[in-house]
Amino acid sequence: MSDIKKVVLAYSGGLDTSVILKWLQDEYKCEVVTFTADLGQGEELEPARAKAQAAGVKEIYIDDVREEFVRDFVFPMFRANTVYEGEYLLGTSIARPLIAKRLIEIANETGADAISHGATGKGNDQVRFELGAYALKPNIHIIAPWREWDLLSREKLLAYAEKHGIPVEMKHKQGGSPYSMDANLLHISYEGRHLENPAAEAEEDMWRWTVSPEKAPDAAEYIDIEYVNGDPVALDGKKMKAHEILAYLNKVGGKHGIGRLDLVENRYVGMKSRGCYETPGGTILLKAHRAIESITLDREVAHLKDDLMPRYASMIYNGYWWSPERLALQSLIDHTQKTVNGWVRLKLYKGNVIVAGRDSKTDSLFDPNIATFEDDKGAYDQKDAAGFIKLNALRLRIAANLKQKKH
């Protein structure tokens, strides 16, 4: 352990990482550099600085990475309409490669020997952080305290914090340990405690970003989203930065009860886990992006994207953002987005996102002269369909004839 002189810790100032900071100092006898990322989690980050200073930390990084997070990680993922196991919009997963990137950058800047994180040995995040770190600095030393210490429960962490005078917030009002939570501009997640029983409904007072659909406004709200090359660039005609768009959609979506999810998912390490998520802005963007693609993408290109999307989602969920296969697939996805330009109008109402219109002045493949149910004046010859159907039915007819002969 004495070989480690300096370590960069991904530090939130919460229970886990506050304990880890003290534990690293005591167990490794090393200097700790803290890195706190402002990913739009909606919490004041200066208390993390104060806690780190109180713990004797001399090099403290608190970085506003909101724009980079949404522009360079969230939006590229949404170009693929990425959903894991049919439901999860990967809010936690997509933040990890950015955090890993900054940990390595700070390690290089400060001459640190190692990096450390607060992910448990049961979860996905340990894989995501470490795969990212190794991809960017293959010989970096990684300290994962949850795989080394015996503080293997929230209660033990709280006891350790109390023993060492580490201030901890958000103790549950009933005296139990708090939810395990993760928040950024894309989502907020909840795990543990009451949620460890998948048969139990999530408590209403757990949710932080969204009202229940029952309490959402009785009047629908419309919003227009403009797209350029597959990315949203404006809301209701107002140009905005990437993180500003997502922040606004979170606010309006939360007001209308949009984006709640209760999911039992398959972790990469092999177990099933139950988590609840709030992703109001992401839920809106997924619906909007598919709507603009519906008129601007060729059929086979759209279907190819849908075929590839589950693999792309698994790459992100499992921590392979920096892998050659994800980068190759991203190049294909980005190529398809060159024609994804136009606008989408959505109606938000009591937990629902309803497409109310979409158009592209430059790239729409929708031809009303051909699609019309009225007289198309010869634009489409319906007689052509007979030969098309017969050729596509040929293999079916051959098989059916053979079956009849056997009987």
Is pLDDT at 175 greater than 80 in this prediction?
no
Residue 173 has a pLDDT of 42
Pairing of strands 180-183, 188-191: antiparallel
Q: Are 145 and 23 in contact (CB under 8 A)?
A: yes
181 CB neighbour count, 10 Å cutoff = 17
Written in H, E and C, the secondary structure of the chain is CCCCCEEEEECCCCHHHHHHHHHHHHHCCCEEEEEEEECCCCCCCHHHHHHHHHCCCCCEEEEECHHHHHHHHHHHHHCCCCCECCCECCCCHHHHHHHHHHHHHHHHHHCCCEEECCCCCCCCHHHHHHHHHHHHCCCCEEECHHHCCCCCCHHHHHHHHHHCCCCCCCCCCCCCCCCEEEECCCCEEEECHHHHCCCCCCCHHHCCCCCCHHHCCCCCEEEEEEEECCEEEEECCEECCHHHHHHHHHHHHHHCCCCEEEEEEECCCCCEEEEEEECHHHHHHHHHHHHHHHHHCCHHHHHHHHHHHHHHHHHHHHCCCCCHHHHHHHHHHHHHHHHCCEEEEEEEECCEEEEEEEECCCCCCCCHHHHCCCCCCCCCCCCHHHHHHHHHHHHHHHHHHHHHHHC
CA dihedral 216, 221, 226, 232 (to 10 degrees): -10
Contact between 10 and 117 (Cβ < 8 Å): yes
Whether the Cβ atoms of residue 316 and residue 308 lie closer than 8 Å to each other? no
Question: In the predicted model, is pLDDT for residue 251 greater than 60?
Answer: yes
Angle at which helices 242-255 and 280-296 pack, to 10 degrees? 110
Task: Give the confidence band of 178 by pLDDT, cuts at 50, 70, 90.
Answer: low
What is the spatial distance between Cα 30 and Cα 380, in angstroms, rounded to a whole number? 75
Q: Grade residue 200 by pLDDT with cuts at 50, 70 and 90.
A: very high
Query: What value does the mean pLDDT take over residues 165-180?
Result: 61
Report the alpha-carbon distance of residue 299 to residue 5 in Å, rounded. 57
Query: Is 170 a residue whose pLDDT tops 60?
Result: no
Tens of pLDDT, residue by residue over 309-346, are 999 999 999 999 999 999 999 999 999 999 999 999 99
Residue 250: pLDDT above 60? Answer: yes
pLDDT of residue 306: 98
Does the global pTM surpass 0.85? Answer: yes
- Catalytic residue numbers read 16, 96, 125, 180
C-alpha pair distances (Å), 59 with each of 32, 117, 242, 333: 8, 17, 30, 40
pLDDT digits (tens, 9 = 90+) for 363-405: 999 999 999 999 999 999 999 999 999 999 999 999 999 999 9
The rounded distance, in Å, linking the Cα atoms of 315 and 319 is 6
Mean pLDDT of all residues belonging to the chain: 94
Q: Check residue 172 and give its pLDDT.
A: 46
Q: Do the beta carbons of residue 58 and residue 19 sit within 8 Å?
A: no
Distance of alpha carbon 192 from alpha carbon 180, whole angstroms: 6
**196 φ/ψ angles, rounded to the nearest 5 degrees:** -70, -10
Could you tell me the two tokens for 6? 């300096």
